Amino acid sequence: MPPTSTTDNIATVEDFDGQETVSQLNALLRLRTTPIGMKLFERADDMEAIERIRRPKHVHTTDQIVGQAARNGWTVGITGADLVGQQCGAVIGLHPQDETWLSGQHMAGVWFEDVEGSSTHQHAMDTVPFGRFEAMAVSPLASGRLDPPDIALIYATPAQMIILINGLQWSGYKKLEWGCVGESACADSWGRALATGEPSLSIPCYAERRYGGVMEDELLMALPPKYLGKIIAGMQALSRNGLRYPIPQYGIMNDAKAGLGASYGER
């Protein structure tokens, strides 16, 4: 069954400064895609009260809504009625994860060989439990309109992402482990981060790339904003040690001793 944890796991960040955070992220990583926030609302009226909120005129996938914020810089709010199907709504708790959804029948023979495989996939997804939230909004982090968001979403290339992860691991080291459900990978990123309050990395899936505008070389990190200060401080410390983005190519034919001595402490 879907996880029982909820966004109660996400610590409030009362002094979160989205504009300064994005400025520092861009200085350290040269991000080409706008870092955004996502927030769930128990009442749709609260979502609709956000400054300059846009509401969809057509049905969309959640990938498209996220893409409108990350690619266009928009602030967009939705309810379950704005989404094209159960799969998108179930991940963010706007559609029940009921027996019909868990059966995976709609994916059998399309993404998976049989109903057994489809159902196993559905049960493996990280989702926000249904029943508490009526709406969701996304917005550029720098706008400050979600005050603060439940999670931040950062798209980055693999090289940028490993530096970000290195920054997260600079102090209080912890091995990071994630999964991959394959199709519906939004469950690996914003679904898992919303449900568990933990940093969650994903390889964006076919739908995210087809409908959400995700580039071929982009990965996605979803995480509560409380982690961003730690990540930035870690990346700054690494940068002082000469470990920063972009990662300079040393060359596959050169003598490695000098480079290793600089990067791995063999003075």
Tens of pLDDT, residue by residue over 161-211, are: 999 999 999 999 999 999 999 999 999 999 999 999 999 999 999 999 999
Structure-model confidence comparison of residues 55 and 254, the more confident one? 55
Chain segment 105-117, per-residue pLDDT in tens: 999 999 999 999 9
Compute the distance between CA of residue 10 and CA of residue 235 in angstroms, rounded to an integer.
23
- What distances in angstroms separate CA 259 from CA 8, 114, 160, 234, one per listed residue? 46, 51, 20, 22
Question: Are 136 and 40 within 8 A, CB to CB?
Answer: yes
Which pLDDT belongs to residue 3? Answer: 37
* Average pLDDT score over the chain: 93
Q: Which helix (H) or strand (E) holds 223?
A: strand 219-223
The per-residue pLDDT for 266 is 58
SS3 136: strand
Could you identify the residue written with the tokens 């102090």? 171
**DSSP secondary structure code for residue 108 in this structure:** B
Residue 108: name the closest of 98, 120, 118 by CA: 118
Q: How far apart are CA 115 and CA 106, in angstroms?
A: 9
Non-local CB neighbours of 170 within 8 Å, separated by 6+ positions? 233, 234, 235, 237, 238
**pLDDT at residue 215 tops 80:** yes
Q: Tokens for 199, please give them.
A: 């940093």
pLDDT of residue 261: 78
d(CA 194, CA 127): 8
Which pair of structure tokens corresponds to residue 235? 């990346």
258 has a pLDDT exceeding 90 = no
3-state secondary structure (DSSP) of residue 176: coil
User: Which pLDDT does position 13 carry in this prediction?
Assistant: 54
Query: What average pLDDT does range 140-152 have in this prediction?
Result: 97
CA-wise closest residue to 152 among 89, 194, 204: 194
Report the SS3 class of residue 135. strand
Q: Note the pLDDT tens digit of each residue in 1-52.
A: 333 334 443 334 567 999 999 999 999 999 999 999 999 999 999 999 999 9
CA–CA distance, 165 with 139 (Å, rounded to integer): 23
| From 146-150, 238-242, 261-265, the region with the lowest mean pLDDT | 261-265
Residue 225 has what pLDDT?
Answer: 97
Number of C-beta neighbours around residue 176 at 10 A: 12
CA dist., res. 187 & res. 184, Å (int): 6
What is the rounded CA–CA span in Å between residue 243 and residue 170? Answer: 12
Measured distance CA(205)–CA(186) in Å, rounded: 8
Percent of the chain with pLDDT over 70: 94
Which residue in 152, 137, 232 sits closest to 194, CA to CA? 152
